[in-house]
Amino acid sequence: MPKEWHELGPFTIFDLETTGMSAVNDRIVEIAALRVERDGTISRFHSLVHPGCPIPPAATRVHHIDDAMVAEAPKFVRIARDFLNFAEGSVLVAHNARFDLAFLQESLARCGMPLWRGDTMDSLRLIRKTHPGLPSYSLQNLRKIFMLEDSIDGMQAHRSAADVEWTVQILKISLNSLLHRPGAAE
Question: Would 186 be classed as within a structural domain?
Answer: no
pLDDT of amino acid 13? 98
Classify residue 37: in a domain, yes or no.
yes
pTM over 0.75: yes
Residue 18 lies in a domain: yes
Give the structural domain span for 123.
5-176
- pLDDT for 16: 97
Q: What is the pLDDT along the chain (186 residues), one digit of tens a residue?
A: 788 999 999 999 999 999 999 999 999 999 999 999 999 999 999 999 999 999 999 999 999 999 999 999 999 999 999 999 999 999 999 999 999 999 999 999 999 999 999 999 999 999 999 999 999 999 989 999 999 876 555 556 668 888 999 999 999 999 999 998 876 555
Q: What is the CATH number of the domain that holds 163?
A: 3.30.420.10
Distance of CA 114 to the CA centre of its chain: 19
Q: Does 183 map to a domain?
A: no
What pLDDT sits at residue 110?
Answer: 97
97 burial class (0-12, 13-18, 19+ CB within 10 angstroms)? Answer: buried
User: What tens digit of pLDDT does each residue of 71-106 get?
Assistant: 999 999 999 999 999 999 999 999 999 999 999 999
Question: How many angstroms separate the CA atoms of 155 and 64, rounded?
Answer: 12
Could you tell me if residue 32 is inside a domain?
A: yes
| pLDDT reported for residue 180 | 87
Q: How many CB atoms lie within 10 A of CB 31?
A: 27
Q: In the prediction, which pLDDT does 169 show?
A: 95
Q: Is residue 168 part of a domain?
A: yes
Say what angle helices 76-87 and 97-110 make with each other, to 10 degrees. Answer: 120
Catalytic residue among 46, 50, 158, 180: 158
Per the domain annotation, does 89 fall within a domain? yes
> Is residue 181 domain-resident?
no
What's the residue count for the chain?
Answer: 186
* Signed CA dihedral, 84, 28, 150, 174: sign only: negative
pLDDT of residue 1: 76
* Structural domains in the chain (count): 1
6 included as an active-site residue: no
pLDDT of the residue at 153: 55
DSSP states of 127-174: HHHHSTT-S--SHHHHHHHTT----STT--TTSHHHHHHHHHHHHHHH
pLDDT (0 to 100) of residue 154: 57
